[in-house]
Structure 1
Amino acid sequence: MTRPLSMTASTTVSAVGAGREALRAALHERRGGLRPGDFPGGPEGVWIGRVPGVEAVALPPDLASYACRNNRLAEMALRIDGFADAVAEARERHGAHRVAVCLGTSTAGIEETERAYRRRSPPGGALPGDFDFARTHDLQSLPRYVRARLGLRGPALAISTACTSGARSFLEAAVLIEAGLVDAAVVGGVDTLCRMTLMGFNSLELLSRGGPCRPCAADRDGISIGEAAALVLLERAGDAPAASPLLLGGGASSDGHHMSSPHPDGLGAVAAMRAALDAAGLAPDAVDYVNLHGTGTRANDAMEDRAVAHVFGERGVPCSSIKGWTGHTLGASGALEAVAAGICVEDGLVPGCLGVEEADPEFRSDVATGNREAPVRRVLSNSFGFGGSNCALVIGQGRAASAPA
């Protein structure tokens, strides 16, 4: 990135509550949102990060054909934090054609298709006639809905790179802005619970059993799946009307090591982190906190510890994962954690891993297990996905005076 981008406005809904202030309070109070699994048709004995009230959300009448769990959760986010108003102001500043929508999702509206499948007609098994795949399940449904809902006319892109989707949306939007194709973009991610995701991770034996996930713990045993919507308005820093956290840089890599397992030495993760630091013009010692992808699986957390120690040195920078609060929200996680990173910068907060008394003694990085108050000028936030997709964002107050990496 040649210039920082302003995160002018943001909004989020997750298991810890609706709105930025709910997320902020949960982090400070160390109050998680994971609960015993109660999603219809889901596996037993696991905990999930379910957002209450999604089913009751009504979309605007003229957009009712987009109704699905994913778009309902997006609508919940659009109604809070003054986000829709902030986008309307940006639309007035730049013009509706000059504001893009780049949103990540992995499940999209799969839950709507699951419902339709249960209603298929015998004997041929045809899906019901009122099922609208394009507006409910298709990956493009989410950005199409958000663009229409906000009255925008710029490019609308769906990003689906597994669990890096929400973070990758920031990079794709930055390219559009730097190329001069648009002046602002609504970015982020929305992913919702569905039977396919829950049972799929269950079949891979990756779900934590008997309690919430505990990233970085010595006896960690897996993931807790959650759902979330996180949206951010990105603009050139000079165009933003008020001081906001900045997207200073981002980097991505694709190591293609394995369909579902990370490279054991984190080579792709190292490449993404270094690319993000280079894009931001920062040396590693300019980062005050690393938000780990930290899913709670044995392989992911061990790999990420090695990668962080490789880039930042052993015990070089405080790091932790917030998935003990929200669960792993899949394609929304990178965007949700970008919003959390902005809160950490604003509040000078390093949120220690929730429910972890002591980090894995084999880890070489400085894993925080309790909240720490300290100046947090810049956060590097990691996201990793199936298939070897890796992404890192640098969020903070401004460029460092130290030499580039």
Structure 2
Amino acid sequence: MRVFKFGGASVKDANGVRNVVNVLKVTGHENTLLVISAMGKTTNAMEAVISAYFNNKPEVNGAIQEVVDYHLEIMNELFENTSHEVYGKFQQLIDELKGFLTWNKSPKKSFVYDQVVGYGELISTTIVSAYLNDQGLTNHWLDVRNFIKTNNEYRDAKVNWELTQERITGGVNRQVLNITQGFLGSDDNNFTTTLGREGSDYTAAIFAYCLNADSVTIWKDVPGVLNADPRHFTETQLLNHISYREAIELAFYGASVIHPKTLQPLQRKEIPLQVRSFLNPEAPGTTVTKGHTIEPEVPCFIVKKNLVLLKLSSLDFSFIVEDNISEIFKLFHDNRMKVDLIQNSAISFSVCVDNKFDRLSELLQTLKSKFKVTHHENVTLYTIRHFNEQAIASLQNNHKILLEQRTQETVQLVVH
């Protein structure tokens, strides 16, 4: 069995949905499970609904209507008349969304976020499933929340692997074309949970692991895994083959083409991962397997923006040692700060963190009571794997470097 994952860019409009059919006709569609993300920028649109719900309730209906209009435009292009059953299914999902926002009493934003944002995936898979059926690609639509079970750590839920394995093994027919949602799961109370932003890749890996799949293919708008993000770098090269270890290193440092959590379950069962272009489905793309380091061996550039650089030093010039560092990392954990880089000396400690949960002010207040603190917001972290001096020089020329750190294979630069 194979698992295919299509991201939001691949189904952002009617032509994208039609192209999914083309990809399946080129590659075959038997014994395949499709994991599909929300269409285009729908997740951002759902986040606007959530923002209105908490900050300006009169704007909620308008924000929902934008979601409705966007999907109706796609549906009107794909289906010949509005009497098609998909329109009723779509309206039912919209009514469910509105119903939740009406009866919800929870003030917890992360809980509300997960209940609302997941409708993007439910809508996209409903539309794609209906279109595939119309094109003769009969498929089973699966609600992923019945299969991937998690804890209730909303917005970053942890998978209950034992229960998930049981649900997938017993509930997925391997002999047919299946379609399900990325990014979502459910907790013990059957409330929707999410696996973290860009978690659809992880969903594909979870299903592949539990189904002992032959391969996972992530279909993207790039030829495969590139040595740099073409949105930030003008000259890029395709990596034909990389190892799980190298891919995990790239993901750890923030390479956006592969989700950091995707690779571990695939590595455990040595399931090959392919990253291929949905614009050119016959091209081989990139293959991630055991053993191959990286081919060709060229510098790989990774960029992470909008980070915060913190520099801490002791108030009395005493050493910053294990107990201090332990306390600092507990604060990062409590404030849900992801650490991207650390560097320490005898009396100072520098760290680059991602403030995605907007807890910086609370963190700074606590840190300043214990340490001398300076911080720089909106910094950029560049990581170069397999670096050479020319690669470093290409970044140094145009930036003010706040921090530099090197190992044998990796250099990291924090710049303004």
Would the TM-score normalized by the shorter structure come out above 0.5? no
Larger Rg: 2
Greater RCO (Cα-Cα under 8 Å, separation 6 or more): 1
TM-score, normalised with respect to structure 1: 0.31
Q: 1 or 2, which has the higher strand percentage?
A: 2
TM-score, normalised with respect to structure 2: 0.30
